[in-house]
Amino acid sequence: MPEKAKIILENFHFYYGTGVALKDITLQIQPRQIFAILGPARSGKTTLLKSMNRLTDLIFGARHTGHVFIDDQEIYDSQISLPELRRRVGMVFDLPTPLPLSVFGNVAYGPRLKGITQKRHLEEIVEKALRAAVLWEEVRDRLSSSALRLSGGQQQRLCIARVLALEPEVIMLDEPCSGLDPISTASIERSLIELREKYTVILVPHNIQQASRVANRVGFFLSGELVEEGPADQIFTRPKDKRTEDYVSGKFG
Amino acid sequence: MMISRHTSQMVAKGVIWVAAFSTLAVMIWILFQVLVEGLPLLHLNFFLDSPRQMGRTGGIFSTIIGTLALTAVAIVIATPLGVGTAVYLREYTRESRVSRIIRFGTDCLAGVPSIIFGLFGFVFFVILLRLGWSILSGGLTLATMILPTIICTAEEAVKAIPYSYREVSFALGGTRLQTVARVILPNAIPGIFTGVLLGVGRSVGETAAIILTAGSSLLIPTSLFSPARTMSVHFYILAREGISMEMAYATGAALILLILGINTLANWLLWRYFRKVGG
């Protein structure tokens, strides 16, 4: 018997001005799994992520129809607290985006915004988050040095730690390995598989191989439409739709 | 006739060199002239004595106080207003009719000659608000004068901050205010500082607007409501009324040292800030 879905999208459309970015998406995402969003460029993957923590609110002219529920709560409800929503639904961007602060300052940024000021408490949170992102051993001696001096792979894991520090329920990662070498990619994938135990993970994978290595379920998007969604092995071996088959077999993309 | 590539290179190099050298030469000449005439008269008492006989003898103590007080009032008023406006324009509103009007207004303000500000300050602060010839009137007038510069540089500084910083801050549960306070402003400080320094320079160098709003009293100002004379005004009056060219040059030399001192201090503060923030 499947678990109750964590995130439910119902007839969700998204528009930038007059352009349509997402068309009639209906989708359920289960907790404690990695859901991979697959598709070529400009198929609406980033928009889908950013509409689930409402970062799209920052963009002028963005609007939607339909519904997004997280734990049965409509996130586009006017009563909802945006900071609260974004703490629950964390996001890691495609390029490492450390703030110009220390390593500690970056991880403690979110908790501090939430109002946690006690040094001891912050230290605990930071250590826990860095350990979970498999970065603690590498940075424990230079927590106070600038995050900008870390390598690309370390910066990206720092960004993951920064999200984990808020103890979110959902973690969205938008091509988190796009600027990284294979070794850093492997270490990020290891931490993803650990994260799967506790969180709902939504991943826009760097490539099809990455999706097949880590994802439980896969949704294939094309031009803003959800073409097909299902268990990862089914999507990769017996896709139902011809377009999915062409994409995963490398005929286009 | 073809000019060889070598020749055209040499000509271009020559023109650029002459331009750079003449700029430097003019600056050195001015500094040299003022310092040669003025420096020999600078001794401790010149800084610590108040002017006597309209400035023919004595020192410039009261004008140093006047300069610092007026500049401080101007900066203290204009900086929060200017930075606030810049943050509003960049972070709290999109390009709209309101933001275009504000920007058009500041651009116009930046081009207005200082004597017009002086006249406005005289009519509005001195007479209408009954602040009289005072440090407060003068400081407020200077503040309106340097406001466009501060808005403009602060806006550029805020604009230069990567969009990703904002996005990250919001994504981590930040409100707009938290994002401004913790990410935008700390990273815009060096740029804001530049604007403030330009404002200091303009305040210290101003004469016309100050004579109309702060007066030209030689007494040491004791409160915000006292009239005051700045070093620039003192220099102007000494030279213009033929009181003492020697004292005028000495005041000029002191003024140059003061500006040099302010710039050095500012650079040092900025350097310390950068070292603290890291990067």
Set of chain B residues whose Cβ sits within 8 Å of the Cβ of A178: none
Q: In the numeric block, which tokens belong to residue B54?
A: 């309209």
- What pLDDT does A1 receive? 44
What superfamily does domain B63-277 belong to in CATH? MetI-like (1.10.3720.10)
What's the CA gap between B106 and B5, in Å, rounded? 46
- What pLDDT does A4 receive? 84
Query: Cα-flanking dihedrals φ and ψ of residue B175, to 5°?
Result: -85, 175
Task: Please determine, for residue B1, whether its predicted confidence score (pLDDT) is greater than 70.
Answer: no
Is position A163 within any domain?
Answer: yes
- What pLDDT does B36 receive? 92
Is position A1 within any domain?
Answer: no
Angstroms from A132 CA to nearest CA on chain B: 17
CB atoms under 10 Å from CB of B52, counted, come to 11
Set of chain B residues whose Cβ sits within 8 Å of the Cβ of A86: 170-173
Name the pairing type of β-strands A89-92 and A34-38: unpaired
- What pLDDT does B278 receive? 53
pLDDT band at residue A52 using 50, 70 and 90 as cut-offs: very high
Task: Note down the domain range covering A202.
Answer: 7-248
pLDDT in tens, A149-173: 999 889 999 999 999 999 999 999 9
Task: Please determine, for residue B240, whether its predicted confidence score (pLDDT) is greater than 80.
Answer: yes
- What pLDDT does B55 receive? 86
Name the pairing type of β-strands A34-38 and A217-222: parallel
- Please indicate whether, in this complex, the C-beta atoms of A100 and B168 are within 8 angstroms of each other: no
Tell me which residue in B164, B173, B178 faces A93 most closely, judged by beta carbons.
Answer: B164
Residue to mutate among B168, B175, B185, B277, with most A CBs inside 10 A, is: B168
Q: What is the mean pLDDT of residues B199-214?
A: 93
Q: What ipTM goes with this model?
A: 0.92
Q: Give the residue on B whose Cα is nearest the Cα of A49.
A: B171
Q: What is the mean pLDDT of residues B161-176?
A: 94
Q: Does A194 touch chain B (CB under 8 A)?
A: no
Secondary structure (3-state) at B131: coil
Tell me which residue in B165, B172, B278 faces A162 most closely, judged by beta carbons.
Answer: B172
How many Å separate Cα B9 from the centre of its chain? 39
Task: Please determine, for residue A22, whether its predicted confidence score (pLDDT) is greater than 60.
Answer: yes
- What pLDDT does B268 receive? 86
Tell me the Ramachandran region of residue B7: left when phi exceeds 0, alpha when psi lies from -120 to 50, beta otherwise: alpha
Tell me which residue in B168, B173, B182 faces A87 most closely, judged by beta carbons.
Answer: B173
pLDDT in tens, A97-107: 999 999 999 99
Q: What is the mean pLDDT of residues B166-170?
A: 95
Q: Does A59 touch chain B (CB under 8 A)?
A: no
What's the CA gap between B178 and B200, in Å, rounded? 29
pLDDT in tens, A75-98: 999 899 999 999 999 999 988 999
Q: What is the mean pLDDT of residues B39-65?
A: 90
Taking one residue from A and the other from B, the number of pairs with CB-CB distance under 8 angstroms is 65
Q: What percent of the residues of chain B are helix, what percent strand, and what percent coil, each to the nearest 5?
A: 80, 0, 20
Q: Report the CATH number that the domain containing residue A104 is assigned in CATH.
A: 3.40.50.300
Is position A253 within any domain?
Answer: no
B134's CB contacts (< 8 A; 6+ apart) are B126, B214, B215, B224, B225, B226, B227, B228
Angstroms from A182 CA to nearest CA on chain B: 25
pLDDT band at residue A187 using 50, 70 and 90 as cut-offs: confident
Set of chain B residues whose Cβ sits within 8 Å of the Cβ of A55: 167, 170-171
Instruction: Check residues A253 and B252 and name the one with the higher pLDDT.
Output: B252
Task: Please determine, for residue A41, whether its predicted confidence score (pLDDT) is greater than 70.
Answer: yes
> In chain B, what are the domain boundaries?
63-277
Closest to B203 measured CA to CA, from B117, B88, B279: B117
pLDDT in tens, B102-121: 889 998 988 899 999 999 99
Q: Does A60 touch chain B (CB under 8 A)?
A: yes
pLDDT band at residue B279 using 50, 70 and 90 as cut-offs: very low
Angstroms from A148 CA to nearest CA on chain B: 6
What sign results for the dihedral spanned by CA atoms B90, B95, B100, B102?
negative
The DSSP secondary-structure symbol of A175 reads S
Taking all residues of chain B, what is their mean pLDDT, rounded to a whole number?
91
- Please indicate whether, in this complex, the C-beta atoms of B278 and A110 are within 8 angstroms of each other: no
Angstroms from B98 CA to nearest CA on chain A: 16
- What pLDDT does A2 receive? 59
B94's CB contacts (< 8 A; 6+ apart) are A60
Q: What is the mean pLDDT of residues A131-157?
A: 91
- Please indicate whether, in this complex, the C-beta atoms of A93 and B168 are within 8 angstroms of each other: yes
Residue to mutate among A49, A56, A109, A145, with most B CBs inside 10 A, is: A109
Task: Please determine, for residue B276, whether its predicted confidence score (pLDDT) is greater than 70.
Answer: no
Task: Please determine, for residue A121, whether its predicted confidence score (pLDDT) is greater than 80.
Answer: yes
- What pLDDT does A180 receive? 80
- What pLDDT does B214 receive? 95
Q: Into how many domains does chain A fold?
A: 1
